[in-house]
Chains A and B, each alone.
Chain A
Amino acid sequence: MAGYAHPEALVSTEWVASHLDDPNVRIVEVDVDAKAYAEGHVRGAAAWNWSTQLSDPLIRDIVHKTQFESLMTGSGIGNDTTVVLYGDNNNWFAAWAFWEMKIYGHRDVRIMNGGRKKWISESRDLDTNAVKPNPGVPSYRASDPDLSIRALLGQVQLAQKSASAVLIDVRSPQEFTGEILAPPGLPETCQRGGHIPGAHGVCWSRACNDDGTFKAVEDLNLIYAAEGVAQSTPVITYCRIGERSSHTWFVLKYLLGVENVSNYDGSWTEWGNLVCAPVERGAAKLVSHG
């Protein structure tokens, strides 16, 4: 973790293994659904389903503050609990949960470096029993949402028109160019392929090593500096539904310390369906950012 701007936001699998019985630590596996958790999970970990527990089931939004508070209390999490998040897909949905917890002001939340993949590849114990939350935790009180780390459509449109922020599209190169409309094998969820004009294509996976851990700070700096990202540069990340971009948001804000980064969770499933929205296909064009 050496050299990261906020090393406290990341823990190793070894650290987690040595804190399984720590009453101040709550571990949560987060994925698009709970299928991976059901196979086996870190002992004592709760499970969060992104589709039903972190996203509002009716309107397209993160859960409301009261729903978030219920999720925390029901998961045995108090305001002072150290929460460690991990998941499959190199922690995509764990990063989303981290972002959402920061929106609602949770102080001590961390990501297990390497996620589920690293835990299993190291032959660390998996438990197949469902976990009951700690009943002794008092009701959770969330802060009012901090929307400075979330970009909504109007802000992205403004940034695109005025080139006032670096837009980082973290999807695969084929999605960026418009060759495919969704990750291979997944349903097409947009009407148009391509990217937001002026966006830089930096696939989320470039921030990871083969074992799923984050690359060293020097390597990360090189990747994003080449795209015009500096400490004070306003940056907006996006992908298809906002989970891969929350991964890059975490990298930029917590590992590199970029001050003003927001995640556009509407992402391509919003922009790629908008009537009259500008779209660029093929490779990116060079844009200067004011």
Chain B
Amino acid sequence: MKPENYSERRIDVDGWQVNLTTYRLGEKWHGRADNVSPGATLARVEAASREDAENQALTRARELLARTRRHAV
């Protein structure tokens, strides 16, 4: 199967940069959120629509990012 409708967009989540990637493979939409500058995967989800995939990935990313502490340097 060919992946289709590949898209990437960058948004701010509570002060953190998040890169949202989505694409469709067959009937499923796949979503991934990463933390941009390090680039580590925060969430990887499957959904029935792009909107759902983005929302699920963002929800999980937001949960994880809320645990990150900033330290004075």
Contact = CB atoms under 8 A, between A and B. Distances in A.
A281 B73 contact: yes
A120 B69 contact: no
Interface string A161-204: 00000000001111101111111111110000110000000011
Contacts of A35: 44
Contacts of B2: 123-126
A69 interface: no
Interface string B30-41: 101011011111
Contacts of B42: 185-186
Interface residues of B, number: 31
A179 B73 contact: yes
Nearest to A119: B3
A90 B38 CA distance: 11
Contacts of A178: 71, 73
Nearest to A90: B39
Contacts of B6: 120-121, 123
A88 interface: yes
A146 B1 CA distance: 41
A188 B40 CA distance: 14
Contacts of A174: 37
A181 B72 CA distance: 11
User: Contact size class for A?
Assistant: 35 or more
Interface in B14-37: 16, 21, 23, 25, 30, 32, 34-35, 37
Contacts of B9: none
A244 interface: yes
Interface string B59-70: 001001101111
B51 interface: no
A121 B1 CA distance: 13
Interface of B: 1-4, 6, 8, 16, 21, 23, 25, 30, 32, 34-35, 37-42, 44, 46, 61, 64-65, 67-71, 73
Q: Which 7 A-B pairs rank lowest in CB-CB distance, beginning with the nearest?
A: A183-B38, A185-B64, A172-B37, A184-B35, A185-B42, A183-B40, A121-B6
5 contacts: A89-B34, A123-B2, A123-B6, A183-B40, A205-B37
